Amino acid sequence: MTEGTTATDSPAADTLVARLEQEGDIAADYLEGLLDIADLDGDIDMDVEGDRALVSIVGEGNDRSLQRLVGQDGEVLEALQELTRLAVHRETGERSRLMLDIAGFRARKRAELAQLGAEAAEQAKSSGEQVKLRPMTPFERKVVHDAVAAAGLSSESEGEEPQRCVVVLPR
């Protein structure tokens, strides 16, 4: 379950991993109930990456039924993630930063956004001017910020939700 974690000798790190695994277990139970109610088939995978629990619902092969749980542009997925975080909060009394993926949507989106961030960084480097991207969700902005940093530039978010966007800064 914790393939993304590394063994440490730190009791604090062990406690964090145990807490995140508990979040994953609570989320899995909640999501299994949801799948049963919706009469959908899906397997639930759990992992711990950094300081957050990752929970994924995966289907068999080209199972299109899970796409209903993703919705247009991931809107249903975002709502389900918030409901799942609330279920974890109800059980633990602590705020959860759990990340939910369904049918690989977030993984695909992350790859697209990383490419967008790399391209925007290259454009800012070559033009010497700021590059302002379209409005994005917090998840999307984080992925782009990470890609820009990996390209050796910096970026910042500007604006107010839901029109908050990333601006890539030239050197």
- 100-125 confidence digits (pLDDT tens): 999 999 999 999 999 999 999 999 99
d(CA 128, CA 161): 28
Is the pLDDT assigned to residue 9 strictly greater than 60?
no
At residue 133, the 3 state secondary structure works out as: strand
Percent of the chain with pLDDT over 90: 78
CB 79 within 8 A of CB 102: no
Q: What is the rounded average pLDDT of the residues 61-76? A: 85
Which domains are seen in the chain, by residue range? 11-103 (3.30.300.20), 108-169 (3.30.1370.50)
How far CA 5 is from CA of 13, 22, 47, 49, in Å, comes to 10, 14, 8, 6
